[in-house]
Amino acid sequence: MNTAVDNKDKKTSPAACVPAHVAIIMDGNGRWAKSRLMPRSYGHLKGMERMIGLLEHAFDVGVRYVTVYALSTENLSRPKEEVDALFGLFRKYFNEYARKIIERESRLCILGDVTALPSDIQDMVAEIESQSRRFEGRCVNIALNYGARDEIVRAVNLAAERGEKVDKESFSSLLYTGGQPDPDLIIRTGKEKRLSNFLLWQAAYAELYFSDKMFPAFSDKDFDAALKDYASRERRFGKV
């Protein structure tokens, strides 16, 4: 599904300049902490706090879908100490944040293979997914143990198991993001300029925005600057 507006609409309606779906690759927690002579886990703590603030801000400015890359399939192979610290943060902050999501009548979806996560975390996310399923206007997607190639292979296998021949629309519906609009804008912090196995199918026509800021330092103003840059772009979706 693609809800992005064309350039003609942008000129006539300022609200149309706000992307419906923004996805964020939150890179740079480790380097941010290192530059302050602090452990990587401190960078993740500050990244977590920033993530929560940014999600609230994105809704405040009218974005309806926000996807954050919290843990890739590859991240799970980091030293056990770091992975445990990330899960510890998740346990500490998730329920409190989930309450805010529900208060804002927003849906929360997890993208990724949750079966490889600790069982208490699986229970926490299943509970909030089920409680928030009734909300349709806004959605936060948290990519956890997510990899786009795994997601695509999973969708192919689902179609094969069902004996279905797919087209672009039906294939999209088999992805973790099934039924949601594709991201209009993908932001990556932390200086690197690549997608790192994030939303490869869904990113087909996304605008890309790269920030040199490390994620814990990526402010609401920086996010607004990304939206402003997006609003200035002409999206043609392959047409003239």
Task: Return the bridge partners of 23, or none.
Answer: 67, 186
Does 29 participate in binding ligand FPP (rule CB under 6 A)? yes
What is residue 144's DSSP assignment?
A: E
Task: Return the bridge partners of 110, or none.
Answer: 142
User: Which has the closest alpha carbon to 175: 201, 195, 214, 196?
Assistant: 201
Between CA 102 and CA 80 the distance in angstroms is 32
For the bound state, the minimum distance from the C-beta of residue 217 to ligand FPP, rounded and expressed in Å, comes to 11
Residues between 184 and 223 that touch ligand FPP (CB under 6 A): 190, 215
Does 128 participate in binding ligand FPP (rule CB under 6 A)? no
Residues between 64 and 93 that touch ligand FPP (CB under 6 A): 70-71, 75, 86, 89-90
Closer to ligand FPP by Cβ: residue 19 or 216: 216
Task: Return the bridge partners of 227, or none.
Answer: none
Residues whose CB falls within 8 Å of the CB of residue 166, separated by 6 or more in sequence, listed in order: 159, 174
Closer to ligand FPP by Cβ: residue 19 or 112: 112
- Judged by CB under 6 A, which of 4, 5, 22, 27 binds ligand FPP? 27
CB atoms within 10 A of CB 48: 22
Supply the residues annotated as catalytic. Answer: 27, 75
Task: By CB under 6 A, name the binding residues for ligand FPP.
Answer: 26-31, 44, 47-48, 51, 70-71, 75, 86, 89-90, 190, 215
